Structure 1
Amino acid sequence: MSNAAGGESGASGAAGGAGGRLLKLFEAHRLTPTQRRIAHCLVRRAGDAPFLSSVEVAELAGVSQPSVTRFAVALGFDGYPALRRHLREVAPSSTAPEVGCNEYQQAVIAEIENLRHLAAVLADPGPVSRAGALLAGSVPLPVLGLRAAGAQARGFAYFAAKVHPDVRLLDEGGTMLADRIDAAARAGASALLCFALPRHPREVIDALAHAREAGLTVVTVADSAFAPVAAHSDLLLPAAVGTGLAFDTACAPMLLGRVLLESMCDELPDAQARLEEFDAQAAARGVFVE
């Protein structure tokens, strides 16, 4: 089943391995905001990218056809046809469906590829370590995630509250969102963690811009380094979503959130003591069935 264009999911067909190769190609160049939008579109449609015409890419990205041509030239190609030939040369194996696999199995296989790409990215632990230090040092720590990203934000906040003294979940939009960000900043917050997944609500972009104006350092977990939130993030950690089903799957962003929790715990000297205290209290109250 392909993705519904109007739902919370993104466009269908992205393969983890192909998306990783596209990211490496695009990240090696300085791109304009319009070109980043095209790059984000191609990463999201990594499985289809080698076969899309420049007109189709323009329609999907919401830009003009000449913008797609200029994008290809900015990457060092003579034009879009040369870029498409290159994509066909570097990504044919990842676009081929697994023989004998049904659509559900293919979705799982694509998600496994996303996790493999995340593992490769984490070979350099520097960005996650920096993020962990920023999050641990922010008291309170606001955690933002709206719509599709709400589950990731709630999951992170639930576990983070066991080791961090003051975690504030921001999973509802509206006019009070800016007020809650301001309140966190006044209370001493120095950083904000955001989970941003497609489709990206405009409200999240506005909230991140407001957070930075309030003096907060924005750490973002997003589906791509070219996601719309990138321009409003101080440290962006990408983790691809699976797009083979009607609604996106977010195994890699969820796992990256847990990795961030581990990094944050490493920076909190009393994290282990807090966990032990929670376990003792939970046992005394009979919270869990053993």
Structure 2
Amino acid sequence: MLWERIKSRLERLPSGQQAVARFLLTRPREAAFLTAAQLGEQVGVSESTVIRFAVSLGFPGFPELRNALQEALRDQLSALERLQLYQTMGEGTNLVQSVLRQDLQRGLSSLASLDDGPIEALAQALCEAPSVYLIGLRSARALVAYFGTYLSWFLPEVHSLEGDLFQEQAVSARRGSLFVGISFPRYTRQTVECLAFAHDQGLLTAAITDSHSSPLAEGADYVVTVPSSHISYIDSFVIPLGLLNALLLRVTDRLGPLASERLQRLEEVWAQAKIYQETVRRD
């Protein structure tokens, strides 16, 4: 990690570069938006000293070090800081390609670290629970709506919770019910508190979040991790949606023939209610 790399070399650096290193360690958010010249001015060293510091850490130059710093900070930045970062980086000539490429590249880089084991365990817990309660607030509410919609096709009791009524629903939940919290940086405090409350009530809990160091993962019986992304001030959930799709497929696999029976019945109901608009081919 960047911070460990800086700390491990700190004492071996010349005094000017040590000053740059300490600035990055103590004021990383400010450093993430500075050029080499601006950083040198803040620290009281020359621009070339800043560049030599970046090279000493193994970077081709300062822009690459700043990119690494921005990536390390990205999950901690405020919405305004993310917008400012995005504006300084630019999006290139094709905005759509730039946005999609960022998510795809992060998704591909995370493939090696993804593990099917936690997904399999959570899928089994979802199928066995008498009731499933989903909690995710602010931008993560969209993930709860998506996940809950498809779960409700197959499981008898799926509830999407509002934060202000969470305690009442947790207290009245049946024994063995599973509470699933979904949150990514910046984590919503209420989601973390709600899942912790359910755990304290002796209920089963699961966290779908970005890492085991996430506050949502503390005390959860099941933890499924997947990286999220940020595009300017926007929380991008392309990769978490892919994980939810995999989890949904594992649920239907475990239900076996029952899943097919449910879908057949739903198709009959949808057809009778004319839920979906039929398309007419125009030759």
Q: Per the shorter chain, which TM-score range? A: 0.5 to 0.7
How much does 1:265 deviate?
A: 1.6
CA distance in structure 1 between the aligned counterparts of 2:252 and 2:116, rounded to whole angstroms: 15
1:212 match: 199
1:222 aligns with 2:209: yes
CA distance in structure 2 between the aligned counterparts of 1:250 and 1:207, rounded to whole angstroms: 22
Does the 8 A contact of 1:106 with 1:244 survive in 2?
A: no
CA distance in structure 2 between the aligned counterparts of 1:151 and 1:144, rounded to whole angstroms: 11
1:286 aligns with 2:274: yes
Does the 8 A contact of 1:205 with 1:232 survive in 2?
A: no
1:142 aligns with 2:166: no
Task: Check 1:203–1:161 CA distance in 2 against 1; reply closer, same or farther (3 A cut).
Answer: same
1:110 aligns with 2:97: no
1:42 match: none
Per-residue CA deviation, residues 57-86 of structure 1 (Å, 9 max, x unaligned), is: 4889xxxxxxxxxxxxxxxxxxxxx9x966
2:25 match: 54
How much does 1:231 deviate?
A: 1.4
CA distance in structure 1 between the aligned counterparts of 2:58 and 2:202, rounded to whole angstroms: 41
CA distance in structure 1 between the aligned counterparts of 2:227 and 2:58, rounded to whole angstroms: 19
| SS of equivalent to 1:197 | coil
Q: Sequence identity of aligned pairs in percent?
A: 23
**Structure with the larger RCO, 1 or 2 (CA within 8 Å, 6+ apart):** 1
Does the 8 A contact of 1:162 with 1:275 survive in 2?
A: yes
Task: Check 1:119–1:211 CA distance in 2 against 1; reply closer, same or farther (3 A cut).
Answer: same
TM-score by length of 1: 0.64
1:119 aligns with 2:141: no
1:257 match: 244
Q: If each structure's helix is expressed as a fraction of its own residues, which one has the higher value?
A: 2
Task: Check 1:133–1:223 CA distance in 2 against 1; reply closer, same or farther (3 A cut).
Answer: same
Task: Check 1:274–1:244 CA distance in 2 against 1; reply closer, same or farther (3 A cut).
Answer: same
Does the 8 A contact of 1:98 with 1:106 survive in 2?
A: no
Larger Rg computed on CA atoms: 2
1:36 match: none
Q: 2:219 aligns with which of 232, 249, 274?
A: 232
| SS of equivalent to 1:53 | helix
CA distance in structure 2 between the aligned counterparts of 1:217 and 1:52, rounded to whole angstroms: 44
1:130 match: 121
Does the 8 A contact of 1:107 with 1:243 survive in 2?
A: no
Q: Which runs of 5+ in 2 are unaligned?
A: 5-20, 32-52, 69-88, 279-283
CA distance in structure 2 between the aligned counterparts of 1:51 and 1:117, rounded to whole angstroms: 30
Q: 2:149 aligns with which of 146, 155, 158?
A: 158
Per-residue CA deviation, residues 239-278 of structure 1 (Å, 9 max, x unaligned), is: 2222132211111111111111111122224122111110
Task: Check 1:105–1:206 CA distance in 2 against 1; reply closer, same or farther (3 A cut).
Answer: same
RMSD of aligned C-alpha atoms? 3.6
Does the 8 A contact of 1:163 with 1:272 survive in 2?
A: no
TM-score by length of 2: 0.66
CA distance in structure 2 between the aligned counterparts of 1:104 and 1:142, rounded to whole angstroms: 35
How much does 1:154 deviate?
A: 1.0
1:179 match: 168
Per-residue CA deviation, residues 37-74 of structure 1 (Å, 9 max, x unaligned), is: xxxxxxxxxxxxx99810124889xxxxxxxxxxxxxx
CA distance in structure 1 between the aligned counterparts of 2:95 and 2:27, rounded to whole angstroms: 24
Q: 2:255 aligns with which of 268, 273, 279?
A: 268
Q: Which runs of 5+ in 1 are unaligned?
A: 1-21, 27-49, 61-81
How much does 1:139 deviate?
A: 1.2
CA distance in structure 2 between the aligned counterparts of 1:258 and 1:126, rounded to whole angstroms: 15
